């Protein structure tokens, strides 16, 4: 299975920057056949959005998808520079010049850089094309907390085990979307290689907490005084608390091992 992951990071500065992820599709499928055409279509949609946001009478028309695909195959950069508005000096009230807005895609690095208002707002989008053996494909319904604290662009968590079938993953994602956000967050399907996940500390920590929560659910269901499921807000908060505890214990062990080494 060939997938294309899109990761965007940016904001006004590092204090409020966020990081979010998604996957491109081809004819409604995450399994990509013509990666360059799919990327060209994505670049085209981003260019149209940029062109609409930033009006400039002197700007050239947005290239077609086919033209963009050819540029990608030829490893040619795709850049647009536009003016947004006149810059006014706050102390004198005089017009000093123009804010420049820039859109640039580099097919060598598979990166889009968009700058607004002379670089005061900057966003980087990374395009990652990856092939996963079909037997290793796993889907996760993930909640991504956007900039939960200053300087932390995102914190991703999942609350159920990875699944092999997309339909089952979509059901889990739909259920996750029914719950209220615990702050500013987005929900999406993560597509991963199970062999890579197995060696990932982020994945291991979440799985540990999920297992602990499953034990809690059993006790909860066996208690006749309790009716129904654990409210999701409580479940999610406990998940975060337990994960923080697991991380603290991990760091404590590392510190103890370091002290023993000396």
pLDDT digits (tens, 9 = 90+) for 107-132: 989 999 998 877 778 899 999 999 99
Is the domain of 158 the same as that of 201? yes
Question: Pick from 102, 131, 160: which residue ends a domain?
Answer: 131
Is the domain of 93 the same as that of 155? no
Is the domain of 102 the same as that of 156? no
pTM, to two decimals:
0.76
Is the domain of 118 the same as that of 178? no
Is the domain of 108 the same as that of 39? yes
Number of domains in the chain: 2
Question: Pick from 131, 163, 192: which residue ends a domain?
Answer: 131
Is the domain of 177 the same as that of 74? no
For the chain, which residues score pLDDT lower than 70?
13-15, 55-60, 83-97, 147-151, 153, 179-183, 216-244, 246-262
Q: What pLDDT, on the 0 to 100 scale, is given for residue 244?
A: 67
Is the domain of 198 the same as that of 239? yes
Question: Pick from 131, 148, 163: which residue ends a domain?
Answer: 131
Is the domain of 149 the same as that of 117? no
Q: Which domain holds residue 108?
A: 2-131
Is the domain of 106 the same as that of 154? no
Is the domain of 110 the same as that of 147? no
In angstroms, the CA 182 to CA 186 distance is 10
Is the domain of 153 the same as that of 235? yes
Q: What pLDDT, on the 0 to 100 scale, is given for residue 212?
A: 77
Is the domain of 45 the same as that of 142? no
Contacts of 99 (CB under 8 A, 6+ apart): 83, 84, 85, 86, 87, 116, 117, 118
Q: What pLDDT, on the 0 to 100 scale, is given for residue 175?
A: 85
């Amino acid at each position: 299975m060939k997938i294309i992951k899109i990761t965007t990071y940016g904001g006004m500065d590092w204090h409020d920057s966020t990081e979010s992820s998604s996957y491109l599709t081809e004819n409604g499928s995450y399994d990509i056949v013509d990666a360059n055409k799919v990327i060209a279509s994505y670049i085209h949609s981003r260019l149209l959005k940029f062109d609409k946001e930033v009006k400039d009478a002197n700007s050239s028309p947005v290239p077609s998808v086919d033209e963009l695909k050819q540029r990608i195959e030829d490893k040619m950069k795709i850049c647009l520079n536009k003016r947004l508005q006149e810059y006014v000096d706050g102390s004198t009230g005089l017009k000093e010049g123009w804010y420049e807005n820039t859109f640039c895609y580099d097919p060598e690095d598979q990166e889009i850089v968009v700058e607004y208002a002379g670089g005061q707002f900057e966003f980087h989008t990374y395009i990652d094309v990856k092939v996963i053996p079909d037997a290793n494909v796993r889907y996760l319904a993930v909640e991504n907390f956007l900039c939960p604290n200053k300087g932390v662009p995102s914190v991703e968590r999942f609350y159920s085990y990875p699944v092999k079938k997309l339909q089952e993953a979509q059901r889990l994602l739909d259920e996750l979307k029914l719950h209220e956000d615990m702050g500013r967050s987005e929900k999406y399907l993560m597509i991963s290689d199970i062999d890579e996940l197995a060696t990932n500390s982020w994945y291991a920590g979440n799985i540990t907490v999920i297992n602990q929560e499953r034990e809690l659910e059993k006790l909860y269901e066996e208690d006749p005084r309790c009716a129904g499921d654990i409210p999701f807000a409580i479940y999610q908060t406990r998940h975060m608390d337990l994960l923080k505890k697991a991380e603290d214990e991990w760091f404590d062990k590392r510190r103890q091992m370091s002290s023993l080494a000396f």
